[in-house]
Amino acid sequence: MLAAPRTPVRGPLPLLGPAFVTAIAYVDPGNFATNLSAGSVYGYLLVWVVVASNLMAMLIQYLSAKAGIATGRSLPALCRRHLPLPVVRGLWLQAELVAIATDLAEVVGGAIALDLLFGTPLVVGGAITAAVAFGMLALRSRGHRPFEAAITGMLAVILAGFVYNVVVGAPSASGVAAGLQPRFDGAGSVLLAAGMLGATVMPHAIYLHSGLTTDRYVATTDRQRRGLLRSQRVDVVTAMTIAGAMNLALLVIAATTLGGTGADTIEAAHDQLGRLEGHGTAVLFALSLLASGFAASSVGTLSGQVVMEGFLRRRVPLVVRRLSSLAPALAILAVGTDPTRALIASQVVLSFGIPFALVPLIMFTCRADVMGALVNRRATTAVAVAVAAVIIGLNVALVTLTVTR
């Protein structure tokens, strides 16, 4: 991973920034695909899924940041230290598959956006997305802030596009309120809800957040660690709230503008937005997708570095890392696979990786010998276990229903 200087902590200094980097994973092109499908097919029915997923994400990312602050190690490094070597190797192999699936989603999303905006061939668009992501990662050589500022700027672009589309679409407040009631409408809505959750809680974001907090500042006392943890709560809540608002806005846009049109792909949604709301609305939608693909691709590659360094204690040049995860994505685009279908398939693969990141995270954060003074309270662990059970259960349902359909 590109080195960035660490700053000694003198008192409870703010630790703002890491959560905004990982928040990109929660508004990546996979979220575009699932939320657009949910809104266009079921209207406001699954608003509650977006809200519930975001609340779960807040807890999970907080625990990941907490593990990094308390131990000075990333989650993969903690696995390497405390688990048997065969288990560690198995976890690394599945994490590499998750990294490939992650890169597939981000690169395909960027390629779709470039095609919508400029008519760029998908393979060329995928290569451009990868190149821009690599350029963004190079900013880390200048310290944490330039990279975090670039990611936050991309988040701002996505947010601006969504806010404009929501205002133009004039959604139904009563419809949104009704969608907060947990309910389904047949097996299709259950499958889509599981997909939305799988696209929201990302295993690579869990690995990455713990890694970002380990090299952010140097904390040598429990008082300093607690101060950093307080700042990280603010960071997580703020970043995840913004990401949740974006996901909700995307579903609301689809429910308001695309409901009943049958536009259940990104390309069809872009076309319908242009017809119904004007060319400017469609352009902003595509720009939001482009920013999502660019930023999420760089974050995905960064998480891959954290995974390899933590599980194997090895570093590879960033170019090699980038090319190894990029090749499958470009190959899929080159053979002419439907890009939206490829996005959805990548989310199914990602769903397999959630338990392998989430279960060790909960195991370690509830152990006093690992976490020291920052060990979880019993209530926190109980809530985390319940969240894990829900996430794993829904993702098992997602995989089962997808395979048997």
Q: Helix (H) and strand (E) counts for the chain?
A: 17, 2
**Pair 137, 147: CB distance under 8 Å:** yes
- Asked if residue 372 is part of any domain, the answer here is yes
Q: How many CB atoms lie within 10 A of CB 2?
A: 13
Residue 34's CATH number: 1.20.1740.10
- Asked if residue 137 is part of any domain, the answer here is yes
Distances (CA, A) of 340 to 33, 62, 113, 211, 271: 7, 31, 12, 31, 14
**Pair 329, 99: CB distance under 8 Å:** no
Q: What is the mean pLDDT of residues 61-82?
A: 95
What total of structural domains would you count in the chain? Answer: 1
pLDDT at 12: 38
- Asked if residue 85 is part of any domain, the answer here is yes
392/295 Cα distance (integer angstroms): 27
- Return the structure tokens found at 272: 């319908």
53/35 Cα distance (integer angstroms): 12
- Asked if residue 39 is part of any domain, the answer here is yes
> pLDDT of 112-146, one tens digit each?
999 999 999 999 999 899 888 888 888 877 777 78
Q: Tell me the pLDDT band of 198, cut-offs 50, 70 and 90.
A: low
- Asked if residue 1 is part of any domain, the answer here is no
Beta bridge partners of 7: 217
Residue 172's SS3 state is coil
**Pair 266, 47: CB distance under 8 Å:** no
- Asked if residue 5 is part of any domain, the answer here is no
Find the distance separating the first CA and the last CA of the chain, reported in whole Å: 40
> pLDDT of 227-259, one tens digit each?
888 888 989 999 999 999 999 998 998 888 887
> pLDDT of 262-308, one tens digit each?
677 888 888 988 888 888 888 988 999 999 999 888 888 888 889 98
340, burial (CB in 10 Å: exposed 0-12, middle 13-18, buried 19+): buried
State which residues form the domain around 282.
12-404
- Asked if residue 237 is part of any domain, the answer here is yes
Residue 351 clears pLDDT 90, i.e. is over it: no
DSSP 27: G
pTM assigned to the model:
0.88
- Asked if residue 2 is part of any domain, the answer here is no
> pLDDT of 5-41, one tens digit each?
444 444 434 456 788 888 888 888 888 888 888 888 8
Element holding 344 (H helix, E strand): helix 339-365
**Pair 151, 25: CB distance under 8 Å:** no
- Return the structure tokens found at 212: 């970002």
Cα angle: 235, vertex 238, 242; to 5 degrees: 135
